[in-house]
Structure 1
Amino acid sequence: MDIHEYQAKKILAGFGVTIPRGGIVYSPENAENKAREIGGSKWVVKAQVHSGARGKAGGIIVCNTALEVAQATDKLLGKTLVTNQTGPEGKIVNRVYIEEATEIKKELYLGLVFDRSSECIMVVASTEGGMSVEEISQEKPESIIRSKIEAAVGMQKFQAREIAFGLGIKPELISRTAEAIIGCYRAFSELDATMVEVNPLVISEQDQILALDCKMSFDNNALFRRNQISELRDKTQENTNEIYASDRGLNYVSLEGNIGNIINGAGLAMASMDMIKLAGGEPANFLDVGGGATPEKIVKAFKLILMDKKVKVILINIFAGINRCDWVAEGIIQALQKIDINMPLIIRLAGTNVEKGNKILKESKINYIEATTLEDAANKAVKALKELKK
């Protein structure tokens, strides 16, 4: 789950990281008042959407008067902001963050993610702040500092100081920089985050260490114990189908193709999408119904697939291990009795009681195309799609 910049900054401030003064607004009138409340002579108006590269898309505006702040807010609210991370559909700006402008002496990059290969938390830092980490790795790879943190031990003060020294921080600012790095680490580890990115972490002309921008993502599976985080979710920034799925216990990711998938198991789902691509087709989604493909879950999965108007063919690929193919077959039949499917349906069952499951499907008289292997299922789905286009 992603959150907005202003929410991430508030979290970091709670862990001792210094942030510029600012506030969230929902109207131009509030924006003008908020600018006067913050004080100063220059402000930055920031569109709050779940995306980076907002500045390049016109989502960040520097203002010199409170009236300009109101005008910039009016310009951004309700706007669909299209960045290289949102895709062509963009994201709607429903709230704006007003922040005092900072006189920047130096921009740095700081990010924390999981490194699954070493089973550690990886701290990535660079002297080239303000650029995306992808750009830094391509243009200035020598500037990147990496430090592995053992999760069982946590970040030690000497590690934070080593990172600060590696960034070329002058000695009198090492301690404050290390405190900011440790604060980001604590937010990451104590709140079940999957990513904390401060870009840029700046040294101001007054020698303050400030988090000027921040992105945070959290583990959805841990939200049940992080109510204060789950309450920060903004569903207007998410795909409607993905919201429907997550609220019903389905693992779903919307894609750009037209072959819908209902599959049990993440590995099988990935393999199925690869096979569809090899066969010349494009998957419309990643949908994992889990090990217990019950009739209720199958019904929810069909409804979810049919919400995507791009879908022209549906592929069901079930490997029954702890489950049984005959139960799955009965679930599919019950689902099709409740939902009208007016498109080609390819079903491939494998595993426990596969013969019995296929027999149940055949005797039910439902209209479907049987497949025997993963490759066969993908080929038949692509073939059915081509026949629709004739």
Structure 2
Amino acid sequence: MNLHEYQAKELLKKYNVPVQEGIACNTPAEAEEAYRFINTQYGSKFAVVKAQIHAGGRGKGSIVGKDQRGVAVAKSAEDVLKIATNLIGGTLVTIQTGEAGKVVNKVLVAQDVYYEGPNPVKEFYLSILLDRTKGQNVIMYSTEGGMNIEDVAHDTPEKIFKEWVHPGGGLQGFQARKIAFNLGLSGEAFKNCTKFVTNLYNAYVGLDCGMLEINPLFKTSDDKIIAVDCKMNIDDNALMRHADVAALRDLSEEDPTEVEAGKFNLNFVKLDGNVGCMVNGAGLAMATMDMIKLSGGEPANFLDVGGTANAQTVEAGFRIIMKDPKVKAILINIFGGIVRCDRVAQGVIDAYQSIGNINIPIIVRLQGTNADVAKKLIDESGLKVQSAILLSEAADLVGKAVA
């Protein structure tokens, strides 16, 4: 589950991670009031207004039809009002959203951290995620923070450092100090950085994060270390332990069909193709998508009905696929191990009869437990369903359907 920047920062504060303070706002009027509060509370001369969407690249992205970036500096209440008016309700297109963009429903009005002081400011990059090849969490960091970290990784990979953390011992003190040293810090900034990294790692583990990224990790002119931006992803399987975090889920940021699929415990990801597929098991689903591609089609979705599928879940999956107007054919590819093929067949029949007026080809390949019973059910149903035994036969039928 992805979180907005303002939500992630509030969670970090519970772990004593210093962050750039800000106020989330739903309207331009709220944003203007937030600016006045921040100006008084923190003595900021400026404020930063940030669009709150689940996508990166907001600083370079722009609102459709308006000369407005997703992140902008405001020097007055009037500036804040204008920027927030352009952002809220607008569609922000970034490198991560694609051409469709995402609608901005909230903005974060944040304090200015570029205030004057005795030392120069500096932007770093730091993230924590799981390195599956080593079975350990890894802290990735760089002296080159800011919006172009992807370019740094591509052009100068030697500037990207990695520190692996053994799961048995957790982050050690010497590792936190090593990170601060490699970032070129000293004195008070060095001490603050080691505390920051330690507390951030505790937050990553304590919140069951899948990914936690701070970009930029900022050194102020008085040597404070703070998180200016934060991207946080929580492991869905751990949400049962974090009811407060689960309550932060923003369904408006997610695809409606994926949300609906989640209600039936279906693993569904919407794609842009023309062949809908329903499969049991992630591996078989990936192989089926490859087969669709090789047959001349394009997969319209990834749908894994799981090992406990029944007629109800299959019908739900069928309905979700049918909602995509781009779908020209549906391929159902089930290998009955735990799941019984006759249950899947009954789900197909129920969905077909319930939905009605289905005018696209449906190709069904059922093998494994009770496959013979499943074939008999479909054959005797009188439905216009094409059956296949071999995967190659199913591929040929898919190719003909989309030709």
Task: Supply the RMSD in Å over aligned alpha carbons.
Answer: 1.3
The answer (yes or no) to whether the contact 1:44–1:101 under 8 Å persists in 2 is yes
Q: Which residue of 2 aligns with 1:55?
A: 59
Measure the CA separation in 1 of the matches of 2:364 and 2:4.
Answer: 41
Shift of 1:342: 2.2
**Matched ranges for 1:239-258 at <5 A:** 239-258=255-274
**Residue 374 (str. 1) matches residue 378 (str. 2):** no
The answer (yes or no) to whether the contact 1:22–1:98 under 8 Å persists in 2 is yes
- How many residue pairs get matched? 386
Give the one of 344, 357, 363 matched to 1:346: 363
Measure the CA separation in 2 of the matches of 1:155 and 1:227.
Answer: 26
Change (3 A) 1:351 1:132: farther
Measure the CA separation in 1 of the matches of 2:400 and 2:369.
Answer: 28
Q: Which residue of 2 aligns with 1:90?
A: 101
Give the one of 169, 173, 177 matched to 2:185: 169
**1:70 aligned partner, one-letter code:** L
Shift of 1:146: 0.6
Which of 279-288 and 97-106 deviates more? 97-106
Measure the CA separation in 2 of the matches of 1:270 and 1:279.
Answer: 14
Residue deviations 1:2-43, cap 9 Å, x none? 010011111112111111221111112111111111112111
The answer (yes or no) to whether the contact 2:91–2:104 under 8 Å persists in 1 is yes
Residue deviations 1:127-170, cap 9 Å, x none? 11013543221022011111111223211221111111111112
Change (3 A) 1:146 1:363: same
Q: Which residue of 2 aligns with 1:222?
A: 238
Change (3 A) 1:101 1:222: same
The answer (yes or no) to whether the contact 1:276–1:379 under 8 Å persists in 2 is no
**1:55 aligned partner, one-letter code:** G
Residue deviations 1:200-259, cap 9 Å, x none? 001111211110101000111211221111111111111111111112211000101010
Which of 358-367 and 66-75 deviates more? 358-367
Measure the CA separation in 2 of the matches of 1:305 and 1:152.
Answer: 44
Residue deviations 1:109-134, cap 9 Å, x none? 00011111111111100111013543
Change (3 A) 1:173 1:301: same
Q: Which residue of 2 aligns with 1:23?
A: 23
Q: Secondary structure at the match of 1:161?
A: helix
Residue deviations 1:301-332, cap 9 Å, x none? 01111121211111101000012223322232
The answer (yes or no) to whether the contact 1:345–1:368 under 8 Å persists in 2 is yes
Q: Secondary structure at the match of 1:81?
A: strand
Q: Which residue of 2 aligns with 1:14?
A: 14
Which of 20-29 and 39-48 deviates more? 20-29
The answer (yes or no) to whether the contact 2:51–2:87 under 8 Å persists in 1 is yes
**Matched ranges for 1:323-338 at <5 A:** 323-338=339-354
The runs of 5 or more residues in structure 2 that have no matched partner are: 62-68, 115-119
Q: Secondary structure at the match of 1:282?
A: coil
Q: Which residue of 1 aligns with 2:65?
A: none
**Residue 266 (str. 1) matches residue 282 (str. 2):** yes
Shift of 1:80: 0.4
Which of 2-11 and 368-377 deviates more? 368-377
Measure the CA separation in 1 of the matches of 2:20 and 2:372.
Answer: 65
Measure the CA separation in 1 of the matches of 2:309 and 2:324.
Answer: 21
Give the one of 374, 381, 389 matched to 1:364: 381
Measure the CA separation in 1 of the matches of 2:390 and 2:213.
Answer: 43
**Matched ranges for 1:1-390 at <5 A:** 1-39=1-39, 40-57=44-61, 58-103=69-114, 105-340=121-356, 341-386=358-403
**1:304 aligned partner, one-letter code:** I
Q: Secondary structure at the match of 1:216?
A: strand
Shift of 1:335: 2.6
Q: TM-score, normalised by structure 1?
A: 0.96
Q: Secondary structure at the match of 2:2?
A: coil
Q: Which residue of 1 aligns with 2:64?
A: none
Which of 203-212 and 150-159 deviates more? 150-159
Measure the CA separation in 2 of the matches of 1:36 and 1:172.
Answer: 31
The answer (yes or no) to whether the contact 2:217–2:226 under 8 Å persists in 1 is yes
**1:166 aligned partner, one-letter code:** N
